[in-house]
Chain A
């Protein structure tokens, strides 16, 4: 008899738990793939979704339960801000591009100009994801856009795909952020690119505006990222830091 009373109670409790508002659940942080190593070091008590910034932007526009959005370029965060879907974005980190090659470097690539030779397997971000946009800008500035025709190019949906291709030896070279080169340093080598041609890489973060969003949790997280402790973590992971504003 006691058992038969306990079961409905347990079920009711379970249903009540499921019905709790989103704010009582872990904070949902949608962040660019290149932040995969750094963000969990800033806060571990958060549910992270890492991916291409453009993909995450689209998910948020379609109602995904994000509380915080951190993008690898201002375009995506600013678009959400213009649509009234997030607070005014702030720049919290910078990065630079590198040419990543496998540790063994079977193609013997020494600089970005080695790509002119053609016949190589090149991994880049697609034209919609920030790393792909930055890569194309860099190549145009270097007057090397033709390397995308001279080599076999695979276009990845986020920078993680580029790193994986190079680290596994499926690509002879790939354009990534400096921070990604560091995370895969055991399997890859980063080749510096001309400083003058570097497009400015700025990360922006904002609190997502939606029904049921954990606004105070989002603001707390953004504060952690932009204050001293968060900046130190970002610096340790190889990111540049904008002046404190």
Chain B
């Protein structure tokens, strides 16, 4: 019975993942106003880290074939999300040589922990962003990304053996959720760090 329930949830998520890119692509072009850019910049970088976390998850042992298919599909959607977030940032979009992204997970539990943490942070920031952005098209982009990443969060929870019915995480600003990203980022050619 439990297996059937999990299977049904995963099936719904997979269908939603398949439908997500088309919906996102049809959105009007966002033009962030003022500090709207903070949400988009956070998303562009966090989705990159998320892609790296999904990639790392696909490298570790312990995921079933079905779970690997879901991880792979989610990663493909997130790669598209990166491009959607990069577009309004233009020349200020993150570049591959801005940071080394390091996801040190070597076990299924570790990989799921990273993925869960990142997807939760993304949902929190997108949820906050939808109520704070000035530009309607940016707000719509964040809302659609929230819908997609909320599904991934449900998928993560199911794979981690948690209840899929936890609901959306609390909306939080980038100052709180930025702390989730920093451990994964190693700036290229970093000068000696100072004590926070």
A residues engaging B (CB < 8 A)? 93-96, 98, 111, 113, 137, 140-146, 178-179, 181, 190-192, 194-200, 238-243
Complex alpha-carbon distance, A183 and B173, angstroms: 34
Chain A nearest CB, measured from B90 CB (Å) = 12
Known A-B contacts A178-B194, A192-B194, A197-B41; the reply to A142 vs B189 at CB < 8 A is no
| CB within 8 Å of A: which B23-76 residues | 34-35, 37-39, 41-42, 45-46
A-B CB contact pairs (8 Å), 18 listed: A94-B187, A94-B188, A94-B189, A96-B187, A96-B190, A137-B92, A140-B38, A141-B37, A141-B41, A142-B38, A142-B175, A143-B173, A178-B192, A181-B194, A191-B196, A195-B182, A200-B98, A238-B192
B194 adjacent to A113 (CB under 8 Å) = no
Q: How far is the CB of B144 from chain A (nearest CB, A)?
A: 21
Cα–Cα distance between A229 and B53 once the two chains are bound (Å): 38
Contact of B181 among A95, A196, A242 (CB under 8 A): A196
B191 and A238 contacting across the interface, CB-CB below 8 Å: yes
Q: A178-B194, A181-B194, A240-B189 are in contact. Are A143 and B174 (CB under 8 A)?
A: yes
Contact between B191 and A178 (Cβ–Cβ < 8 Å)?
Answer: yes
* Interface presence of B95 (CB below 8 A): yes
B11 surroundings in chain A (CB, below 8 A) = none
Report B-chain residues with C-beta under 8 Å of the C-beta of A98: 194
Give the A-binding residues of B (Cβ under 8 A).
34-35, 37-39, 41-42, 45-46, 92, 95, 97-98, 173-175, 178-179, 181-182, 185, 187-196
CA of A137 to CA of B34, assembled, Å: 10
CB distance from B191 to the nearest CB of A (A): 5
Decide if A192 touches B41 in the complex (CB within 8 Å): no
What's the Cα separation between A98 and B98 when bound, in Å? 17
- Chain B, Cβ-Cβ closest to A185: B194
CB contacts (< 8 Å) of A179 on chain B: these are 191
Q: How far is the CB of A51 from chain B (nearest CB, A)?
A: 22
- Report how far A9 CA is from B130 CA in the complex, Å: 82
The complex places the Cα of A168 from the Cα of B45 at a distance, in Å, of 37
Nearest-CB distance from A111 to chain B (Å)?
8
Residue of B nearest to A178 (CB): B191
Q: Which of B35, B95, B189 contacts A143 (CB under 8 A)?
A: B35
Q: Contact at A192–B191, with CB atoms within 8 Å?
A: no
The 8 A-B pairs at the shortest CB distance, nearest first, are namely A240-B189, A143-B38, A196-B181, A143-B35, A192-B196, A190-B194, A241-B189, A195-B182
